[in-house]
Amino acid sequence: MGDSRFVRRSSKLELPGLERELSLSQALSRRDILKIAGYSSLAAFLAACGVTSTTTTNTGTGGSLNLGSNESDPGPKKGMEAIVAAFTAANGGTKVKLNTVDHGTFQDQISSYLQATPDDAFTWFSGHRMRFFAAQGLATPIDDVWDSVKSNFTGAFAESVKGDDGHFYGIPRDYYPWCVFYRKSVFAAHSYKIPTNWDDFTALAAQMQKDGLTPISMGDKDGWPAQGTFDIINLRLNGYQFHVELCAGKQKWTDPRVTAVFKKWADLAKYYQAGLAGTTWQQAADMVVRKQAGMYLLGLFVSDQFKAAGQDALDDLDFFPFPDLGTQYDAEKALDAPIDIWMVTKKSPTLNADLAQAKAWMTFWAKGSTQLTMFQNAPGLIPTASDADTSSYSPLQKKAAQIISNAKRITQFFDRDSRPDFAGANGMQSFLLTYLQNPNADTTSLQGKMQSFWDSLPPEK
């Protein structure tokens, strides 16, 4: 989830700032120079002959390419630079200009960025956020690229980069599942068993409470972590289709099925720690690290927090998928697994010249080897390509990949599947915080507020 990284950074006292960076363009090889010289003399010859010809077909090699990247954290940024270097070497010396912009700033400025003079290709998120800008005509469809690489992706990934118009707009580059995390040593010490259904899950939570642990950790100060719990309960209880339609406003928030989600959630919410609304996700994770809390529903990026506590803590980290609720939708094994993607812009002033290079870049990113380079620098981001070599994965990462490939349906996360104005701070984040104040209270009026807020929003064009 995009916001997660923004907040993570803020907590380290780094203020959002604009950060631009030029990658070192690889020196042109002698052959490239000869090639360029050859083309230009040919062009000069044609011009001299007065032949009106279209420019030579751009094969996508050589040339130049501008990229806008939001991977501003040190690890992913290093990975991106390594990939740019590899691309230049493999693609006939394409001169790549990589503009890295702080993650939060990039997100806040995305509309004006895409409308003004964007780079040729840019990093973004799949789901509603991708479809929205595609529908606004601010992205270029890349169906031809997708046709050539689709065999390397599962159907769920294909679905995630398809626009409302049926065209394909992105290349999935990494993802991270949302699961229930725990420490193996804590489970071993109390001989807890991994719960697979709701009764076992709540019984385990009750047992943990008796044992003096906070059964389930929750830190919702930033507003979005609770949305992950809403997503998974809704998916298990009401199914993928209902969840997606609810996020898109095609179902009502006053629906009794939504009420059922809040009822179910209340069974879990009583096991959260006090003060969750003032606790950041990092502080909530630290409670699990310190063995004060038993379980924690979050994205795989929680491993960063364990890594910071030391390799022992990271090796002790494990997770299980959210338990079944005994509905027909259990079989979907759906879960939130936000996917990061590359997209091609529409209004880039250089896109005419660079389109073939941009497509070559997309094709390059569809390779497992490319995605592994990123993964080695950012272990929380799992490759999406089927041919990615999994031998370097840790058991945790292997398991994450396994869970995803078992899932029949993948959702992106509430704030990627719904409109940003609805999902944001003065919207669903507030509503869920209100709910968590008193989970056992009647939610009728709260659901009414959600629906009337949705209704008050202007139509999305």
Q: Is 263 in the site for another protein (CB under 8 A)?
A: no
Shortest Cβ distance from residue 377 to another protein (Å)? 27
Quote the least distance from Cβ 221 to another protein, whole Å: 6
Residues 273-302 that bind another protein (CB under 8 A): 273-280, 283, 286-287, 292
**What whole-number distance in Å separates Cα of residue 122 and Cα of residue 120?**
7
Give, in order, the Cα–Cα distances in Å from 93 to each of 35, 64, 89, 289: 11, 9, 6, 46
Stretch that binds another protein, among 53-61, 232-240, 241-249, 452-460 (CB under 8 A): 452-460
Q: Which of residues 152, 185, 430, 451 is near another protein by CB under 8 A?
A: 430
Q: In the stretch 186-225, what mask flags binding to another protein with x, by CB under 8 A?
A: ----------------------------------xxxx--
Contact positions with another protein (CB under 8 A) in 365-394: none
Q: Tell me: does residue 53 bind another protein (CB under 8 A).
A: no
Nearer of residues 215 and 383 to another protein, judged by Cβ: 215
Shorter beta-carbon distance to another protein: residue 15 or 48: 15
Q: Which of 49, 311, 328, 458 binds another protein (CB under 8 A)?
A: 458
Q: Identify the CA nearest to 299 among candidates 172, 400, 417, 177.
A: 177
d(CA 181, CA 362): 33
CA distances from 333 to 152, 201, 360 (A): 22, 17, 35
Of 142-150, 255-263, 345-353, 425-433, the window that binds another protein (rule: CB under 8 A) is 425-433
The rounded radius of gyration (Å) of the Cα atoms in the chain is 24
The amino acid at residue 28 is: L
Outline where 126-219 has alpha helix (H).
128-135, 143-149, 155-160, 184-189, 198-210
Residue 282, sorted as left (phi over 0), alpha (psi -120 to 50) or beta, turns out to be alpha
Q: Is position 426 an interface residue for another protein (rule: CB under 8 A)?
A: yes
Instruction: Rank residues 107 and 305 by Cβ distance to another protein and give the closer one.
Output: 107
- AA identity, residue 222: D
Least Å distance, CB 68 to another protein, is 16
Taking alpha carbons only, the member of 310, 316, 312, 305 closest to residue 281 is 305
Give the C-alpha distances (Å, rounded to integers) separating 315 from 91, 311, 319: 39, 6, 12
**DSSP helix, strand, coil percent of the chain (3-state; round to 5):** 55, 15, 35
Counting residues that bind another protein (by CB under 8 A) gives 48
Site string for another protein, 143-172 (x = CB under 8 A): ------------------------------
What character string, x for contact with another protein (CB under 8 A) and - otherwise, covers 223-242?
Answer: x-------------------
Buried b (16+ CB within 10 A) or exposed e, 65-99: bbbbbbbbbebbbbbbbebbbebbeebbbbbbbbb
Residue 70 vs 373, nearer CB to another protein: 70
Judged by CB under 8 A, which stretch of 158-166, 317-325, 335-343, 415-423 contacts another protein?
415-423
Nearer to another protein, 404 or 423 (CB): 423
DSSP codes of every residue in 198-213: HHHHHHHHHHHHHTTS
CA trace torsion 82, 401, 3, 234 (10° rounding)? 160
C-alpha 140/C-alpha 168 separation (Å) is 9
Helix H or strand E encompassing 339:
strand 339-344
Query: What whole-number distance in Å separates Cα of residue 79 and Cα of residue 81?
Result: 5
Choose one: 24-32, 49-57, 388-396, 424-432; the region binding another protein (CB under 8 A): 424-432
- Of residues 84 through 143, those in contact with another protein by CB under 8 A are 107-108, 110-112, 115, 129, 136, 138
- The pattern of x and - marking residues 1 through 40 that bind another protein according to CB under 8 A reads ---------x--x-x-------------------------
Closer Cβ to another protein, 281 or 322, answer by number = 281
The correct pick among 425, 440, 441, 444 for binding another protein (CB under 8 A) is 425
The residues pairing with 333 across neighbouring beta strands, listed in sequence order, are none
Q: Which is nearer to another protein, 10 or 369 (CB)?
A: 10
Enumerate binding residues for another protein (CB under 8 A).
10, 13, 15, 107-108, 110-112, 115, 129, 136, 138, 220-223, 273-280, 283, 286-287, 292, 419-421, 424-427, 429-430, 433-434, 437, 449, 452-453, 456-458, 460-461
